[in-house]
């Protein structure tokens, strides 16, 4: 059994080391060019959620970028489980982790004798989920602001690949928060349709049914897929379709899904209140309750427990 550490442990190029020993070269293509892929799952009560699905998506991103991590998907799963276990003793009461897998193309353009590690850079790490930082959105709902920054078009770079090049989303988020620090950005695709919110997928509720943007233009989230499956189990219709800002403004409810959020209701879009009832609305609440039951964790309670006052 490994010795317990007083700081979190990460996997770094074949070794399990304290996080302060993970040092990526400034010549690494992931740093210089954003030439890297990553994926993230979360734990529920310390257990990774849908790890196989996340790793399968990760390897689809790597295949698209033509990066060979030198590890099989099964090996990456085993490493992720080991990292989770090695950090379990540091997980606080009621806390959970993000578990991230990151692979860059590595270092090139220098003499081989200067390179300590040849081949791809591989990191698997655990980070506590930001329950305190995001607690208010579960009480009040999310405020979305439509950004003038459009999501990268599939003709340029597929948004279905989860890469380290996040400047498109970063610039949209800066714009949204410049107007109001509490805003979350909502990006449109190049055709003016709803695409993604800040690191999350968008669902509209109208007349008791769900609608969400088509997969071609978004990163297809694992929580998005699970929400669609839960909706089917509950007899709630769900359609993948082009949606625009008009549709959002006239929705009865809106919610976002992501690995960390799971499901969280939206209060406003561009300052306009969505629907005429509390957030989350009744359909969103049904899905939240079913999601929490399915994963065996009151994720809303995890956030609300960190509220100040």
Specify the pairing of strand 9-12 against strand 15-18. antiparallel
Task: Give the Cα separation of 128 and 91 in Å (integer).
Answer: 8
**Residue from 42, 212, 22, 45 nearest 104 by CA:** 22
Strands (E), 45-96: 47-48
Per-residue model confidence (pLDDT) at position 309: 58
Q: Taking all residues of the chain, what is their mean pLDDT, rounded to a whole number? A: 94
Spans in the chain with pLDDT lower than 70: 1-4, 109-117, 309
- Tell me the pLDDT tens digit for each residue of 20-49: 999 999 999 999 999 999 999 999 999 999
Task: Supply φ then ψ for residue 121, to 5 degrees.
Answer: -90, 125
State which CATH number among 2.60.40.420, 3.10.620.30, 3.40.50.740, 3.20.10.10 fits the domain covering 134-304: 3.20.10.10
CA angle 200, 204, 205 (to 5 degrees): 140
pLDDT tens-digit profile of 133-171? 999 999 999 999 999 999 999 999 999 999 999 999 999
Q: How far is CA 205 from the centre of its chain?
A: 22
Task: Evaluate whether 9-129 and 134-304 have a shared fold.
Answer: no
Segments making up each domain of the chain, as ranges? 9-129, 134-304
Quick one: pLDDT at residue 216?
84
Q: Which two tokens stand for residue 190?
A: 């190049």
Shortest CA distance to 144 belongs to which of 69, 92, 196, 216? 196
CA–CA separation, 106 and 98 (whole Å): 24
Spacing of C-alpha 7 from chain mean position = 24
> 9-129 sits in which CATH class?
alpha beta
């Amino acid at each position: 059994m490994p010795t317990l550490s007083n700081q979190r442990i990460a996997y770094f190029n074949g070794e399990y080391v304290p996080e302060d020993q993970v040092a990526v070269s400034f010549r690494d293509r992931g740093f210089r060019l954003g030439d890297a892929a990553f994926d993230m799952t979360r734990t529920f009560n310390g257990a990774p959620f849908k790890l196989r699905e996340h790793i399968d998506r990760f390897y689809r991103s790597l295949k698209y970028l033509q990066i060979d991590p030198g590890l099989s998907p099964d090996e990456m799963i085993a490493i992720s489980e080991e990292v989770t276990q090695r950090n379990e003793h540091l997980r606080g009461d009621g806390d959970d982790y993000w578990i991230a897998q990151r692979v860059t193309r590595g270092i090139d353009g220098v003499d081989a004798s200067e390179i300590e590690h040849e081949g791809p850079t591989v990191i698997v790490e655990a980070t506590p989920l930001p329950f305190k930082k995001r607690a208010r959105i579960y009480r009040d709902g999310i405020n979305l602001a439509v950004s003038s920054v459009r999501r990268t078009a599939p003709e340029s770079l597929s948004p279905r690949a989860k890469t380290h090049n996040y400047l498109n989303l970063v610039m949209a988020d800066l714009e949204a928060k410049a107007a109001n620090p509490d805003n979350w950005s909502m990006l449109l695709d190049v055709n003016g349709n709803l695409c993604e919110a800040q690191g999350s997928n968008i669902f509209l509720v109208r007349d008791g049914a769900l609608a969400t943007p088509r997969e071609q233009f978004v990163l297809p989230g694992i929580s998005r897929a699970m929400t669609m499956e839960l909706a089917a189990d509950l007899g709630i219709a769900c359609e993948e379709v082009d949606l625009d800002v008009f549709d959002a403004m006239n929705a009865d409810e809106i919610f976002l899904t992501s690995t960390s959020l799971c499901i969280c209701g939206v209060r406003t879009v561009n300052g306009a209140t969505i629907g005429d009832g509390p957030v989350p609305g009744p359909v969103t609440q049904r899905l939240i309750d079913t999601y929490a039951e399915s994963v065996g964790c009151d994720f809303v309670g995890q956030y609300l427990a960190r509220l100040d006052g």
